């Protein structure tokens, strides 16, 4: 049920939940959302439900402590000496909170590295990050007033965001506002975003994923160099459409429930540099690392050496957050290297010649995604060898015509994907979303996505036939 | 009803969703009655979608009802019989009636030409052996075509998800003169081959029983004999899956594969039809597909199709007078 494109979610959970939510008087809608989210999570992961509830509760207690020393004590004791002690005590509680949240994440990530990612609790990487940002914001007094337990629990657990983010901030937009904007228009708007996301995921990402599977079946040592590049390009699109599609669905759901639209992707593939790409890809993760790691470390204000060190820390953490195996570390380091080079030397030049910048991004990013995708280092070496045969990647039993077959099979999806990557196309759809043609198209996309999900779901091997 | 104007997408989805649900409910006990259904996982409208993906359209419902009525009226049968099977059986009966005459002729013909009682042993041959061969099969045979290195010697009528049920009717062959797509059957009528290699059966594991599968398999082999009277027909054992797949999959496991392979083997007469089993060279000690040869537990990695080809080269047949 935790898959937004699945039948259980689309035709069981969502309609029932929406009906209940909108029948509930406005005052109690947060409660309805909290219970809905608990049901949603419990169906997907009954065991780790307790872990989630426990950490939500503990975080509330700790947030209360941090808040207490910040507000109440300060009013009572105005002497400077006391203030220092208060500061110390406050620090203590923040450290406890961070130990809890970071510790939870680290412990499970380590377990995941050894026993496989299946043992990771659903959404852990995302909800712990929300908790960290929440505690730090309380500490920094970015969150002015300690929220009620229910409101905080809704923030941590709301079902649209629990699985894979976005890592929305508590203070973001009008999340905290007592009066939410409910209207038919917003319901419709949210639904439209949801459908766009659904189509992006089911009709593009899931199709392109099969190419990756095909290439894997052939064996990396036996693919031609053009096919290796086609695979890298297709994977780059697949990853984007999968995550962007999910993010659109999530934000669409949020809008349907009266919450703000959280932007997580801003057409990253039209960037002119890798730094820009990462400001526009998974934006909530990037801004998390910026606000809670990079800037507290001094950002770029303390000289070149420090800047480079801070970037290194951020990118190592980014790599490790995505996974514990060596390839993620390599991936993070490569991105670090590229971003440092841009920051120190070629960044301005790339922005000045956007065409060169775009080509540079479109060539380099698929290579970095290859590092991201292939977790087995030997397999990764084989694939890189096929991408760059001149550095010693001699193939075995390569069929030089394989590219023709796979271009024929996946060409239409790749072409559609390229078009859907163009920012102007998306903006056009957004702008004319009330036009009958767009409305008809959205309805079509919805049913086509449902059709694809159903017809593939019946195959015991989700994607393939022999 | 002000909301209708404000929410056109929502409105159309609600209306169409209701409509599709009604189709699903209506067909649940008739055209979709064989589909798996559970309340949480399959909304009624999913039945309709599944039907479309299988080529059974909602409007078939109308003719479904009508067909049953007429059949049961004329034959005095109770309602609810499986109409599809009835007609299929009818066809095959007709078909089988026609065949024996040809069969008799053929066997007498070949009796005169070569001593038919003689059986043959396998010998090692060179790659030129494949020059007059044709391969029919599913994605595994597609892999042999792409990576076996004999694509210039032999013809391949192979396609992913091909089954014994559409092996002869699939539009996967090419007319050598016009370049048009033709069925396997037509292609076999146009050109005579020395060897026909057939490997099918994994896609069918989920449908029917070994008996129903073999019934169709025999029909196909029989038809191949008619179409290619002079060819050696190799019926290949279905390639197995890996140990992990074998243990985890209730359908696509080696127990089921072996069961069908044993039946396929019985078709061999070692005169014209020969059974060969590539599992001999791609499986480990336990009889499962070797983990090293595959990444998806089902298909060989490209470089190991060579093993299959080498194996075929040890299974040459040389008949007298050839």
Three-class secondary structure assignment of chain B: CHHHHHCHHHHHHHHHHHHHHHHHHHHCCCCCCCCCCCCCCCCHHHHHHHHHHCCCCCCHHHHHHHHHHHHHHHHCCCCCCCHHHHHHHHHHHHHHHHHHHHHHHHHHHHHHHCCCCCCCCCECCCHHHHHHEEEEECHHHHHHHHHCCCCCCCEEEECCCCCCCCCCCCCCEECCCCCCEECHHHHHHHCCCCEEEEECCCHHHHCCCHHHHHHHHHHHHHHHHHHCCCCEEEEECCCCCEHHHHHHCCCCCHHHHHHHHHHHHCCCCCCCEEEECCHHHHECCCCCECHHHCCCCCCCCHHHHHHHHHHHHCCECCCCCC
Residues 6+ apart with CB under 8 A from B102: B226
Q: What are the tens digits of pLDDT across the range B6-65?
A: 999 999 999 999 999 999 988 888 888 878 787 777 789 988 988 888 888 888 777 665
Query: pTM value?
Result: 0.88
Of A185, A216, A443, the CB nearest to B295: A216
Give how far the C-alpha of residue B191 lies from the chain's centroid of Cα atoms, to the nearest Å.
Answer: 22
Cβ-based neighbours of A45, under 8 Å, separated by 6 or more: A2, A121, A122
Query: Which residue among B12, B139, B303 sits closest to A443, beta carbon to beta carbon?
Result: B12
Phi, psi of B123 (to 5 degrees): -130, 160
| Exposed/middle/buried for residue A36 (C-beta within 10 Å: 0-12, 13-18, 19+) | buried
Peptide bond into A166 cis (omega under 30): yes
pLDDT at B109 (0 to 100): 45
How large a percentage of chain B has pLDDT more than 90?
A: 62
Query: Inter-chain contact A7–B52, Cβ cutoff 8 Å?
Result: no
Identified catalytic residue from A73, A216, A282, A322? A322
Hey, of B3, B6, B7, B9, which one would you mutate to test binding to chain A, going by the most A CBs within 10 A of its CB? B9
Q: Which residues are CB-neighbours of A68 under 8 A, at least 6 positions away?
A: none
A282 has catalytic annotation: no
Residue A50 CA to residue A305 CA, distance in Å, equals: 45
Q: What is the pLDDT of residues B151-175, one digit of tens each?
A: 999 999 999 989 999 999 999 998 8
Q: If you count them, how many residues does chain A have?
A: 466
The residue among B218 and B118 whose pLDDT is bigger is: B218
pLDDT at position B105: 43
pLDDT of residue A74: 53
CB distance B198 to B220 below 8 Å: yes
Residues from A in contact with B at Cβ < 8 Å: 7-8, 11-12, 183-185, 187-188, 191-192, 195, 213, 216-219, 221-223, 396-399, 402, 405, 434, 436, 439, 442-443, 446-447, 450-451, 454-455, 458, 460-461, 464-466
CA angle at A181 for the pair A178 and A187, rounded to the nearest 5°? 140
Question: Which residues of B are less than 8 Å from A466 in CB distance?
Answer: 138-140, 160-161, 202-203, 298-299
Cβ-defined contact of B53 to A455 (cutoff 8 Å)? yes
Name the residue of chain A whose CA is nearest to B241's CA: A466
CB contact under 8 A, B9 and A221: no
pLDDT for A176: 61
- β-strand partners of B156: B135
Spatial CA neighbour of A237 closest among A48, A414, A56:
A414
Query: How would residue B321 be classed by pLDDT, with cut points 50, 70 and 90?
Result: low
Average of per-residue pLDDT across B193-211: 93
pLDDT at B71: 47
Instruction: Suggest the residue from B49, B58, B166, B297 to mutate for an interface test with chain A (most A CBs closer than 10 A).
Output: B49
DSSP-assigned letter for residue A268: G
Q: What pLDDT is recorded for position B114?
A: 47
Query: B52 CB near a chain A CB, below 8 Å?
Result: yes
Residue numbers in chain A where pLDDT is lower than 70: 1, 69-86, 173-179, 392-393, 457-466
- The C-alpha atoms of residue A292 and residue A286 are separated, in whole angstroms, by 10
> How far, in Å, CA of B125 to CA of A448, rounded?
52
Per-residue pLDDT of A177-204, as tens digits, reads 666 778 999 999 999 999 999 999 999 9
Which tokens go with B41? Answer: 């996982």
Burial (CB < 10 A; 0-12, 13-18, 19+), residue A274, is: buried
Average pLDDT, chain B: 84
Give the pLDDT confidence score for residue A89 in this predicted structure. Answer: 74
pLDDT in tens, B88-138: 343 333 333 333 444 444 444 444 444 456 789 999 999 999 999 999 999
């Amino acid at each position: 049920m935790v898959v937004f494109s699945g039948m259980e979610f689309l035709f069981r959970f969502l309609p029932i939940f929406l009906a209940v939510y909108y029948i509930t008087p406005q005052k109690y809608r947060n409660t309805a959302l909290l219970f809905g989210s608990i049901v949603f999570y419990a169906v997907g992961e009954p065991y780790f439900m307790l872990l989630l509830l426990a950490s939500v509760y503990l975080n509330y207690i700790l947030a209360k402590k941090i808040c207490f020393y910040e507000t109440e004590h300060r009013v009572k004791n105005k002497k400077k000496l006391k203030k220092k002690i208060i500061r110390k005590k406050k620090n203590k509680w923040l450290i406890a909170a961070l130990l809890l949240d970071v510790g939870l994440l680290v412990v499970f990530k380590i377990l995941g590295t050894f026993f496989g990612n299946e043992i990771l609790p659903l959404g852990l990487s995302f909800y712990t990050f929300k908790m960290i940002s929440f505690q730090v914001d309380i500490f920094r007094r970015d969150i002015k007033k300690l929220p009620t337990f229910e409101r905080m629990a809704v923030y941590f657990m709301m079902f649209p965001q629990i699985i894979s983010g976005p890592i929305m901030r508590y203070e973001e937009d009008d999340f905290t506002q007592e009066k939410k904007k409910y209207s038919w228009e917003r319901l419709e708007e949210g639904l439209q975003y949801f459908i766009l996301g659904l189509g992006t995921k089911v009709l593009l990402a899931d199709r392109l994923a099969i190419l990756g599977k095909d290439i894997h079946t052939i064996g990396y040592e036996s693919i031609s160099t053009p096919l290796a590049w086609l695979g890298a390009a297709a994977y780059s699109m697949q990853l984007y459409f999968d995550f962007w599609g999910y993010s659109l669905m999530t934000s669409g759901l949020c809008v349907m429930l009266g919450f703000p639209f959280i932007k997580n992707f801003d057409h990253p593939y039209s960037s002119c540099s890798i730094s820009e790409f990462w400001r526009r890809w998974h934006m909530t993760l990037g801004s998390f690392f910026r606000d809670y790691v990079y800037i507290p470390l001094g950002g770029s204000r303390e000289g070149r050496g420090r800047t480079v060190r801070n970037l290194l820390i951020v990118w190592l953490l980014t790599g490790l957050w995505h996974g514990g195996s060596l390839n993620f570390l390599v991936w993070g380091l490569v991105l670090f290297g590229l971003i440092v080079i841009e920051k120190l030397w070629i960044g301005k030049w790339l922005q000045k010649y956007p065409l060169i910048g775009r080509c540079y991004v479109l060539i380099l990013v698929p290579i970095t995604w290859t590092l991201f995708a292939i977790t087995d280092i030997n397999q990764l070496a084989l694939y890189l060898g096929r991408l760059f045969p001149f550095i010693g990647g001699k193939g075995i039993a390569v069929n030089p015509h394989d590219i023709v077959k796979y271009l024929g099979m996946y060409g239409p999806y790749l072409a559609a994907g390229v078009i859907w990557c163009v920012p102007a196309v998306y903006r056009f759809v957004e702008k004319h979303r009330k036009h009958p043609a767009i409305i008809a198209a959205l309805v079509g996309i919805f049913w086509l996505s449902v059709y694809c999900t159903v017809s593939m779901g019946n195959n015991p091997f989700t994607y393939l036939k022999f | 009803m002000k909301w209708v104007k404000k929410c056109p997408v929502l409105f159309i989805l609600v209306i169409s969703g209701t409509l599709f649900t009604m189709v699903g409910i209506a067909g649940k006990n008739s055209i979709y009655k064989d589909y798996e259904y559970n309340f949480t996982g399959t909304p009624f409208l999913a039945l309709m979608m599944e039907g479309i993906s299988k080529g059974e359209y909602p409007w078939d419902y109308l003719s479904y009802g009508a067909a049953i009525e007429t059949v049961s009226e004329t034959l005095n049968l109770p309602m609810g019989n499986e109409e599809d099977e009835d007609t299929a059986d009818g066809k095959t009966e007709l078909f089988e009636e026609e065949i024996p005459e040809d069969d008799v002729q053929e066997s007498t013909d070949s009796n005169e030409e070569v001593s038919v009682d003689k059986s043959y042993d396998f010998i090692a041959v060179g790659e030129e052996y494949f020059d007059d061969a044709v391969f029919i099969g599913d994605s595994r045979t597609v892999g042999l075509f792409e990576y076996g290195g004999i694509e210039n010697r032999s013809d391949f009528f192979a396609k992913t998800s091909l089954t014994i049920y559409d092996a002869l009717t699939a539009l996967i062959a090419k007319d050598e003169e016009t370049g048009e797509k033709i069925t396997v059957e037509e292609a076999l009528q146009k050109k005579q081959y020395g060897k026909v290699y057939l490997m099918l059966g994994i896609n069918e594991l989920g449908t029917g029983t070994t008996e129903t599968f073999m019934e169709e398999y025999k029909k196909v082999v029989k038809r191949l004999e008619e179409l290619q009277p002079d060819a050696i027909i190799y019926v290949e054992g279905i390639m197995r899956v890996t140990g992990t797949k074998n243990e985890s999959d209730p359908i696509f496991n080696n127990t089921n594969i072996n069961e069908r392979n044993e039946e396929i083997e019985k078709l061999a007469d070692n005169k014209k039809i020969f059974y060969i089993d590539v599992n001999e060279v791609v499986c480990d000690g336990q009889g499962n597909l070797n983990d090293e040869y595959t990444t998806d537990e089902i298909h060989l990695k490209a470089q190991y199709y060579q093993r299959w080809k080498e194996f075929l080269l040890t299974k040459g047949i040389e008949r007298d007078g050839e």
